[in-house]
Amino acid sequence: MLHGDSWAKTYLLIDEESKQAILIDSVFGRHEYDLSVIQARGATLQHAIATHTHADHVTACFDLREKTGCEYVMWKDTVSLGISKFVDEDDVLMLGKTPLKFHFSPGHTNDSMIIEIPGHILTGDFLFNGEGGVGRDDLPSGRPKIHFEALSVLNRFDDEVKTSCDMVCMGMSCNSVLKCCTTCL
């Protein structure tokens, strides 16, 4: 995780063998630092992924694509400029030999998705760790009923899967296990 002192979390995944990198939910204004970390590790940015359209900050994905030529990845129905790759439920992106799978999880926004890596999920603002609950549904494109119904997507994952969110609530760490995150829902 980059920017651990911030309310908005960015995740960096690097395959040590291939030196491929993926940035998830990079924030505009901090992305130069993100790129410097990737460069310092001798890696190359392959994908910049946004888990959803953010209402509280500007994504850096478009700028990262412009600067590095990486793919800007979002959910298939996202309406935004500069997206170069859309993903759906059956799609898999590879980071070296590690598969990344995508799960549609609407509600907080109409394009929210969960990213699954073996043994780990990154939930964006769909689910917060601890007693934080879920992302706000009162923002543009938020739909509380759809968000509640979409919580069933969590049944696809083992209760012990490591769970990382884009926001940290109630003093919890950003990496918890799923059963801890869903106790209050």
Q: Report DSSP letters for 33-89, one per residue.
A: HHHHHHHHTT-EEEEEE-SS--SSS-BSHHHHHHHH--EEEEETT---TT--EEE-T
The domain made up of 11-182 has a fold known as Metallo-beta-lactamase; Chain A (3.60.15)
Q: Which is nearest to 133 in space by CA: 119, 117, 151, 145?
A: 151
Residues of the chain with pLDDT under 50: 1, 167-174, 176-185
Q: What is the pLDDT of residue 112?
A: 86
Please give the model's pTM, rounded to 2 decimal places. Answer: 0.81
pLDDT tens digit sequence for 118-150: 999 888 877 765 555 556 666 666 666 766 777
Between the CA atoms of 50, 55, 56 and 60, what dihedral angle is there, to the nearest 10 degrees?
A: 30
Q: What is the pLDDT of residue 123?
A: 82
> Residue for token digits 């799609």?
91
Distance between alpha carbon 50 and the CA centroid of its chain, in Å?
6
Name the residue ranges covered by the structural domains of the chain.
Answer: 11-182
Burial of 42 (0-12, 13-18, 19+ CB in 10 A): exposed
Are 73 and 87 within 8 A, CB to CB? yes
Q: What is the pLDDT of residue 13?
A: 94
Q: What is the pLDDT of residue 185?
A: 40
Q: What is the pLDDT of residue 33?
A: 93
